[in-house]
Amino acid sequence: MIVVLLGPPGSGKGTQAKRLWTERKWPQLSTGDMLRSAIQKGTKLGIQAKSFMDQGLLVPDNVVVDLIAERIELPDCRPGFVLDGFPRNILQAGVLDRMLEVRNQPVDRAVVFEISDEELVRRLSGRRTCVECGAMYHVESAAPKKPQLCDHCGHSLIQREDDKPEVIQKRLIVYHQQTEPLVEFYKKQNKLRCLDAKKKASDVTEALSEALQ
């Protein structure tokens, strides 16, 4: 099954994609994670992408399209995969459809995570991320056992550059302008399902599971 998770930053797509991996072994293809890993390794692509990401802007389409095109060729993607953070605009969605047409394996379902901007600002501004393993925490609702340290690997927690208040606002504007039109795009293809992403994570998992039936 090929699933697109749509929704603004902080709506919980990444958390749910990781659960789909744990429970169903569907690979999670997160362009945000791929870009952050390139930045950490200091590759040319990472250096190029960082300035866009730090400002809350989308990185150029060709960069993410190439990442996805390469990733879906790996054998673990043959039975299907979950796209988390891609496509992010109409152009990327069109390119994705054409890439999948060649494989004769279209997108089966697009699920949109619905949530208010106010809740997203609360979630993102309190979010802390482990520098080493990428585990996520929240200063209020999911605090680590020891302040500023990851429960899993003991490394430091940081606030991502793009989780700072001015950048959050920019990311939300970009989402509404460029990514939200994809809701209509997948509705027209009869592939869209919606879920209430404000609910607690376990309820969202249940709703997602229904949406994927």
Of 91 and 146, the one with the shorter C-beta distance to ligand AMP is 91
Q: Does 71 bind ligand AMP (CB under 6 A)?
A: no
Our answer to whether residue 160 is catalytic in this structure is: yes
Stretch 150-189 residues interacting with ligand AMP (CB under 6 A): 162, 171
Select which of 19, 88, 128, 193 is catalytic.
Answer: 88
Report CA dihedral (204, 85, 154, 50) to the nearest 10 degrees. -150
Is residue 127 annotated as a catalytic residue, yes or no?
Answer: yes
Q: Should residue 86 be labelled a site residue for ligand AMP when binding is judged by CB under 6 A?
A: yes
H or E element that contains 139: none
Judge whether 71 counts as a catalytic residue: no
* Shortest distance, position 48 Cβ to ligand AMP, whole Å: 11
**Which parts of the chain fold into alpha helices (H)?**
13-24, 31-41, 44-54, 61-71, 90-103, 117-125, 165-174, 181-188, 201-211
By CB under 6 A, which span of 29-37, 109-117, 195-203, 205-213 interacts with ligand AMP? 29-37
- Whichever of 42 and 147 has its CB closer to ligand AMP, that residue is 42
Q: Please, is 183 exposed, middle or buried when counting C-beta atoms within 10 Å of its C-beta (0-12, 13-18, 19+)?
A: middle
**Does 85 sit near ligand AMP (CB under 6 A)?**
yes
Q: Which residue is nearest to ligand AMP (CB)?
A: 32
Q: Which helix (H) or strand (E) holds 83?
A: strand 81-84
Which residue number, 57 or 212, has a Cβ lying nearer to ligand AMP? 57
Residue 146, sorted as left (phi over 0), alpha (psi -120 to 50) or beta, turns out to be: beta
Angle between helices 44-54 and 31-41 (to 10 degrees): 120
Shortest distance (Å) from residue 145 CB to ligand AMP: 25
Residue 145 among the catalytic residues:
no
Would you tell me which residues interact with ligand AMP (CB under 6 A)? 9, 31-32, 35, 52-53, 56-59, 64, 85-86, 88, 92, 162, 171
